[in-house]
């Protein structure tokens, strides 16, 4: 749907500036309270370290396909070195100043299952020292003219001082670029006249001195475009509203309302970093505001479906949009689609067949197959595959027509053609999909089904459904050929 936009992300060079943070997740199980205080005891079984703050924004831009340079200041310590290594692994070029006047900011979350029990923070949040400030400004002066856009991820941790901001304003006047800003103090960046700002709901109501509302957030803010513009001076304001979606203003005017996609058990940490990254790249690619908002919302939905502070890979974004398309022809795309479903905790059901002349037996079979799980994927033999299996007179209907008819069934989520000279079984699809349930008709047994062992190898279950009596494509063709009136009609 938006592939022509996302395919251009790799064309852009982005300079990302922002506070560097590290997110640590201590995961385990909690089955008792401490005897020392009424708090749960967590037996930690795993530790995950990921990028946070501006570093996560840089990683998101890179994972979406852009060429990214990240500029920041952090501690000359182990955590700072670890963050730089993680950035490099994410494909980000690092121009990070490590200085012994600071300690790297680390946010540690203690998790019992999916529940966060506590978070504790450490690291320097005071303004960078004047000598470090001068070094950082010189770095920005060196780099600024080389990029297509600047993304500023400000967390108010001492990096973006007034002197740094003044330097950015001067650089922007000399070398105008697309500037996107994500900050809790967007009014601070008004002298930059940003191309894009991304306040969330809480930031917006604080900026406008409004009362927070639990509901009707869209209605509360849809007429506040002039007030937001007066505070930020931004050409575009993408106001994210959590489960209420997003409102996008062009200058003072509201121009688009995007609706949120429901994600089970979302982890919203880092979602804003993903959103502004995707919006900025879509804008650079020439997309209109509605497309930018939809792409950014989809990228954020992918990110919050993951357990840790997350990012959205370019192929994950493309797969997310493909989830809403019935036809899938690329196996790599199919793999990503199935990973999305499984990441959402959905049970994937797979079946296959020729589906040459669709009849009531097919419809009943597919409806029952769909009831066994959450999403039904259907493999359909290509025309050449059917000819090899059933002879030169088949198929009656060509592949495109057969797929069109199947797509009209509500039970069917995706249709995937298969078959080759080497293998006319759905084995290659099973290896990619790794379905929770593989369904075939009752004319098979597990012993006569060559794919059964492969399904079970991947932890799936084989289910055989009884067929509707006297309902088959072969029966229909035989009836046409033996009934004079039907032969004439044919």
Q: Which of 112, 133, 12, 2 is CA-nearest to residue 66?
A: 12
Q: What is the three-class DSSP state of 248? A: strand
Residues 6+ apart with CB under 8 A from 143: 15, 69, 71, 95
Please give the helix or strand (H or E) that residue 153 lies within, else none: strand 149-154
The token pair at 369 is 């197959």
The token pair at 213 is 């509302």
> Of 273, 383, 401, 470, which residue is the catalytic one?
273
Q: Which residue bears the tokens 């000399």?
A: 174
Q: Rounded to whole angstroms, what are the CA distances from 301 to 202, 208, 317, 437, 472?
A: 19, 27, 9, 26, 42
Q: Which of 297, 216, 284 is CA-nearest to residue 256?
A: 297
The token pair at 393 is 């007179």
Q: How far apart are CA 185 and CA 169, in angstroms?
A: 16
Q: Which residue bears the tokens 């199919």?
A: 334
Q: How far apart are CA 332 and CA 62, in angstroms?
A: 20
**Does residue 70 contact residue 273 with C-beta atoms inside 8 Å?**
no
Q: Where are the beta strands (DSSP E) in 212-332?
A: 236-240, 246-250, 253-258
Tell me whether residue 242 is one of the annotated catalytic residues: no
Q: Which of 213, 193, 195 is CA-nearest to residue 205?
A: 213
Q: How far apart are CA 60 and CA 67, in angstroms?
A: 11
Neighbours of 451 (CB within 10 A): 20
Task: Name the residues annotated as catalytic.
Answer: 273
């Amino acid at each position: 749907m938006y592939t022509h936009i996302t395919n251009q992300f790799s064309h852009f060079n982005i300079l990302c500036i922002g506070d560097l943070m590290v997110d640590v997740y201590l995961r385990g199980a909690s089955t008792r309270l401490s005897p020392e205080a009424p708090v749960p005891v967590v037996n930690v079984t795993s530790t995950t370290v990921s990028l946070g703050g501006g570093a996560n924004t840089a990683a998101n831009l890179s994972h979406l396909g852009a060429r990214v340079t990240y500029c920041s200041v952090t501690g000359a310590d182990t955590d700072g070195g670890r963050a730089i290594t993680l950035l490099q692994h994410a494909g980000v070029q690092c121009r990070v100043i490590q200085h012994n006047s600071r300690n790297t900011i680390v946010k540690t979350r203690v998790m019992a299952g999916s529940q966060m029990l506590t978070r504790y923070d450490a690291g320097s949040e005071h303004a960078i020292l004047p000598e470090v400030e001068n070094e950082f400004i010189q770095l920005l002066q060196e780099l600024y003219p080389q990029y297509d856009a600047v993304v500023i991820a400000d967390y108010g941790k001492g990096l973006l001082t007034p002197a740094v901001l003044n330097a950015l304003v001067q650089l922007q006047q000399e070398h105008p670029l697309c500037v996107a800003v994500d900050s809790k103090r967007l009014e601070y960046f008004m002298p930059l006249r940003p191309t894009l700002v991304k306040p969330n709901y809480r930031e917006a109501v604080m900026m406008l001195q409004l009362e927070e509302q639990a509901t009707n957030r869209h209605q509360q803010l849809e007429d506040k475009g002039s007030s937001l513009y007066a505070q930020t001076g931004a050409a575009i304001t993408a106001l994210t509203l959590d489960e209420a979606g997003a409102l996008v203003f062009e200058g003072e005017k509201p121009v688009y309302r995007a609706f949120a996609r429901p994600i089970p058990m979302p982890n919203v940490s880092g979602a804003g970093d993903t959103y502004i990254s995707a919006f900025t790249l879509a804008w650079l690619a020439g997309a209109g505001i509605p497309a930018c908002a939809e792409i950014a919302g989809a990228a954020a939905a992918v990110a919050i479906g993951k357990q840790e502070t997350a990012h959205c890979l370019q192929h994950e974004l493309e797969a997310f949009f493909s989830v809403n398309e019935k036809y899938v022809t690329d196996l790599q795309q199919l793999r990503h689609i199935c990973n999305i479903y499984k990441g959402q905790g959905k049970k994937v059901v797979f079946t296959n067949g020729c589906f040459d002349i669709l009849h009531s037996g097919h419809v009943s079979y597919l409806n029952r197959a769909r009831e066994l799980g959450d999403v039904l994927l259907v493999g359909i033999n290509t025309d050449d595959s059917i000819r090899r299996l059933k002879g030169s007179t088949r198929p009656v209907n060509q592949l495109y027509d057969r797929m069109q008819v199947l797509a009209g069934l509500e039970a069917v989520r995706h249709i995937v053609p298969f078959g080759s000279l080497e293998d006319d079984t759905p084995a290659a699809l099973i290896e990619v999909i790794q379905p929770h349930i593989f369904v075939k008709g009752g004319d098979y047994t597990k012993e006569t089904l060559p794919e059964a062992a492969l399904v079970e190898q991947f932890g799936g279950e084989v289910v055989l459904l009884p067929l509707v009596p006297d309902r088959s494509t072969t029966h229909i063709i035989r009836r046409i050929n033996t009934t004079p009136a039907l032969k004439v009609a044919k």
